A and B are shown apart, each in its own frame.
Chain A
C-alpha cells in the first residue's frame, strides 16, 4: 500500500446501518434523446466498493454508506421498497457506492432480478463500475434485459500521475480506454466522471487538468460529467478541508472549464454536489445560485449563458487563482491570508 493509500485508509470511518434499507432515492432532471426528462436516482446499500474497503480514494466518503453484511435477501428488500418509490421515470440511475457488476456487492441473482424489473419499467439504465469490472458477458446479460444500458466510470482524470498521487485509484487511463472499448463493442454507452480539483492541486492546475482530461476522452465517452470535488465526511479531503488545506473549486473555475471545452463531441455536463455550500464548489455566496443555474441550464442543454453571470467576487477569484499558482500552494488562501 502506498503512503497516500495508507493515509486515506486512516481517515475512514464506518457507521452502523440497517442492511434492509437503501441509502437514498430522489428524482432529478436528465437529458434523454435531446429532451429533458425525469430520472430516478437510487443508491442501494451494499458492502460497498472493494477498493474503498481496501483503502479507497482521497475524496470518496461513500464507503461509509456501506455495511459489512448485506445479504441477497436484504438487498431484495431494499429493491422492493425502491420499486414502491419508483414513479415510472424514464431514466433510472442505479448506484451502490461501488461496482454494480461486483457479485460480492450485488449477488448475480439479485442483479438479474433488478435488471429484469428495470427492463420492464424504464427506457434507460445507468450503473457505475470501476473499469476493471466492465466485462463482455456481464454487459451482454445487462443489455439483454435493458437495451439502453450505460456504464458510468469514475476516471477522475486522464493523467495517471495525478490519479496515483492525489486520488489513489487503482487503474490506469489505458485500462479505462479498454473498458470503453469493451462496453461500446457490446452496445452499451459510457458516461465518464471527472474529478474537478483533486487535493494537493492548485485551482489553476485543476482547471488545466479537467480541460485536458475532457479533451483526452472527447469522442470516446458518450457523456462526460465534471464533478467538482465536494468535501465528504471522513475522507482525506475532509481532513485537509477542516484544516484549511483544501478549498473546493470556485464556481468560476467550473464555468471556465465548461467554456474551454464547448463544442466537444461528447456531451459535457456538470451536476455539482453541494454546489454553493462551503463543502461544495462555491463562489462568494451572493452569486452562487445564479452561476449554478447557468451550469444546470448548460448541462441540460437548455441554454448556454455561461458567459453572462458576473459578480464582484470574480476579481477575487482571478487573484486567488493567479496568486495560489505562483506561490505553489494548494491551501485555502483565505484561511491563511486574513
Chain B
C-alpha cells in the first residue's frame, strides 16, 4: 500500500509499504548492474533510501526466476484481448489501465510504456485514467521512460516510480544526459558537468547521478509547491513534454483541477503554458461563475496590476485610492484589476489564491494569448454585472481593453500614474458618482464579504456572512454576527477560516461538508473515517466535518473529495476546532 503524505496537484510524496520494505516515493528504481554491486557512493544513497535497493532487486529479479513469458501488446492493438497479467513479482504489468482493478500488486505499470514516447497526448490521458482505476493507494510506475529531463513531468502526471533503464540504455549508446536532454558523448569536447563521475569520464555513473539528483529536486518541488514551475522550465527540451503537458492542461482540466489546491506557494507565470495552469483557469471560472459585484457600486474602474501583492499595498494603488477618495463617493466605485494571466481580479478578491501569489514578467507587452484572456473574459464580465459606467485607467493594456468596451471613459491615456491622469481620474469619478446616492463603507463592506464568501465557498455562501461585522485591520478580519465570531480572514492564506459556529452556518447551506462516521474526532480526521464529501471541496479548503446534520469539527481539507472517500489511510482533514463529545449518559 502506498500512503500519500504530501501532494502537489497530481504529484504525490508518500511511503510505499511492500511486503517487507518501505520506500519513499517518488523514487527511482535502480534496475541493472548498479544495484547488484553498488559502488560505495551508491551504497550510501541506497542506505538513505530505505528499502529502495531491496525493492529494486525484487523488481529486477523477475529475470533470474525464469518466470513464464509475459506478453506485451503494442498500443496500436489495444483492442486485442490479452491474457491477464502474471501475478508474480512486486509489479503488475497491465495490458491497459482497466486491468488495474484485478491486479493484486501495489505497484502498477503498463506494458510497452515506452511506446508512449510516440503518443504524448495519449500518455497524458492514460496516466489520468490509470490513476482513476488504480486509486490513490497504489504506486504508478513507468518503466523505461524516465530521463533526468522528463522526471519532473512524469511525477507531475502522478507517476510514483521511475527507473534507470533509459539512462542505462543510453549509456551503452553513448548518450550524455543532462537536465536539458542528451548529447552524443563523442561530440563533447569537454564534459559539461563537474560531478565526480565526469572527472573519470564515467558516463554510466554520470547519467545515474543525474537521475538521482533530479528525483531529489522533484521531491523538494512537491514539498515546496513549485513542481509545476520546474516542469515548465524543462518543457523547451523536448516536444514530447510540451505535447504531454498541453494535453493535460487542455483536455484533462477537470481531473487536474480536482487535485489543484486552493492555497499555495508563489505561482510563477513565466511561460506561455502558465496561462493554462488549472489554478489560473479555475480562478477565471470562479470569477465568471461564483462572483457578484457589489450592488451599491455601479461605476466600474479598471486598474492595472502591480508587482507588489496584494495590489492595494502597492504604491500605484495607493495613488489610485487617493484619487478615488477625492472623487467624493468612493464606495460607489468598484475596482477591478486587469492582469495576466488571471484576466480580471475584483479588488475584494485580491487575497484569493493565486491573486496575491503570482508573479509575471511585467513589460506591458501582452502576447496574443494573454490578450485572448481579456477578449474572452471582459465582455462576459460586463454583460453579467451591468455597470452604469466604465472607467479605464490602465497602462499599456489600455488600448486593448478600451477596444472591448462600448462607451469606455479612458482617464489614463496610457500613463496611469501621471499627475494629469490621476487628476483626470478624480474628476471623472466625481462627475460619475456625485449624482449617485452616497454609499456607506459599512454597506459596501457587507457586499464585499458576501462576494468573498461566495468566491471561496461557492454560490449561496453569501448567507454565511449576512449581517456580519468585521473587527481588526484588513487583511486580518474577524467576522462576527451578534457577538459570535464566525470566521477570520487571514492575509497570507487569503481565505476565511471558520469557527465551529461558522462551520454550522456553512453546513446548513450544504456547502464545504465532509460526512464522517458517528464519532467525535479527537484530532485530525483520517480518510478511513470519511463517508462522503462535497464534490467542490478542494485541497486547502475549509472542510466542515459532520455526522448527519451535526457538525463535529472544522478544519482544512488535505485531500480531494475523491481521495478522502476512496482511501483508507492518511490525513483527510487537518482539524482546527472540534466539538467535545457529550458526557456519556450511560454509566
Contacts and interface: CB of A to CB of B under 8 A. Distances in A.
Nearest to A330: B72
A322 interface: yes
B69 A328 contact: no
B352 to A, nearest CB: 44
Contact of A328 (B79, B112, B118): B112
A336 B69 contact: no
B74 A326 contact: no
A315 B174 CA distance: 12
Interface string A314-329: 0110011011011111
Interface in B425-459: none
B114 A329 contact: yes
Interface in B135-165: 143-144, 163, 165
A114 interface: no
Given A201-B69, A331-B115, A319 B168 contact: yes
A95 B31 CA distance: 47
A205 B112 contact: no
B112 A329 contact: yes
Interface in A186-227: 200-202, 204-205, 208-209
Contacts of B166: 337
B143 A327 contact: yes
Given A3-B81, A323-B168, A337-B169, A200 B73 contact: yes
Given A7-B80, A330-B74, A208 B144 contact: no
Interface string B50-65: 0000000001101100
Contacts of A243: 74, 76
A208 B111 CA distance: 19
Nearest to B60: A326
A205 B70 contact: yes
Interface residues of B, number: 40
B245 to A, nearest CB: 20
A245 B172 contact: no
A166 interface: yes
B66 interface: yes
A333 interface: yes
Nearest to A7: B80
A328 B60 contact: no
Contacts of A166: 71
Interface in B24-66: 31-32, 59-60, 62-63, 66
B82 interface: yes
Interface of A is mostly: helix
Contacts of A209: 69
Interface stretch (A47-55, A121-129, A157-165): A157-165
A327 B114 contact: yes
A143 interface: no
Given A200-B72, A327-B143, A327-B144, A333 B169 contact: yes
A160 B348 CA distance: 71
A336 B118 contact: yes
Interface in B67-114: 68-74, 76-77, 79-83, 93, 109, 111-114
A110 interface: no
B92 to A, nearest CB: 10
A4 interface: yes
Given A162-B69, A202-B72, A245 B63 contact: no
Interface of A: 3-4, 7, 159, 161-162, 165-166, 200-202, 204-205, 208-209, 240, 243-245, 315-316, 319-320, 322-323, 325-331, 333, 336-337
- The 8 A-B residue pairs whose C-beta atoms are closest, nearest first, are A327-B144, A245-B74, A327-B143, A205-B69, A319-B172, A200-B71, A328-B93, A330-B72
29 contacts: A3-B79, A7-B77, A200-B71, A201-B71, A204-B63, A209-B69, A240-B74, A240-B76, A245-B76, A319-B169, A319-B172, A323-B168, A326-B32, A326-B59, A326-B60, A326-B165, A327-B143, A327-B144, A327-B163, A328-B143, A329-B144, A330-B71, A330-B74, A333-B169, A336-B114, A337-B114, A337-B144, A337-B170, A337-B173
Given A3-B79, A328-B70, 16 more contacts: A159-B69, A201-B71, A202-B72, A209-B69, A243-B74, A325-B63, A326-B59, A327-B114, A327-B143, A327-B165, A328-B72, A329-B114, A329-B115, A329-B143, A330-B71, A330-B74
Interface of B: 31-32, 59-60, 62-63, 66, 68-74, 76-77, 79-83, 93, 109, 111-115, 117-118, 143-144, 163, 165-166, 168-170, 172-173
